[in-house]
Amino acid sequence: MHDHPISHLSDIDRRTFLRTSGLAMGSLFLSGLFPSEAISAPTVSLPGFAAFAEKVKVFKNSKYYLIESDGLPDHGMMVGIKSWQQQIPTPHPYSGTNAWSVPITPVISKTPISAKNHFLRGAIAIAVNGVPIFNALNNRGDDAYLA
């Protein structure tokens, strides 16, 4: 026996759950029908990216080049790897509001920062074939090239 009141959440029946789930899925589907900023921006051809135009889309708005891809290269991956590396290639939706934004007119930072102590979570650049580039640090924070 508990010495404090136990309040239970109200039971939700299957029909209410399915109705709510259907509405949520429908709204997600409908949101995909409206053009994103990248889709409404004109397509451009940039040196290097043009060779991968079937997989990598480049758009231009007033401030940025917007680069869309699924993050996977067209060549074979994991070839020759025979042990578990705790990493597997998976597609990522670098599109719409998640597209890479590269300034049309980049400016050199007055106070540059090192990737050694910054940019530790995720990709820091994108290659012309649409594959994200990560910093050169391993999971211990050591330079993987020098290790």
64-68: strand order across its sheet: 57-60, 64-68, 100-103
Q: Which amino acid is at 79?
A: V
Q: Contact 123/116 with Cβ under 8 angstroms?
A: no
Closest CA to 54 of 107, 114, 128, 117: 128
First to last CA, the chain: 59
Check residue 145 and give its pLDDT.
74
In angstroms, what CA-CA distances link 100 with 35, 56, 87, 137? Answer: 17, 11, 22, 22
Residue 25 CB coordination number (10 Å): 10
pLDDT in tens, the chain (147 residues): 556 565 555 566 767 767 777 776 766 555 555 555 555 678 888 888 989 999 999 999 999 999 999 999 888 887 887 777 677 788 989 998 899 999 999 999 999 887 777 776 678 889 999 999 888 777 777 777 776
**What is the three-class DSSP state of 46?**
coil
- What is the value of pTM for the model shown? 0.63
Check residue 67 and give its pLDDT.
94
In angstroms, what CA-CA distances link 122 with 24, 34, 136? Answer: 29, 28, 11
Closest CA to 70 of 47, 59, 54: 54
Residue 31 CB coordination number (10 Å): 10
Check residue 30 and give its pLDDT.
56
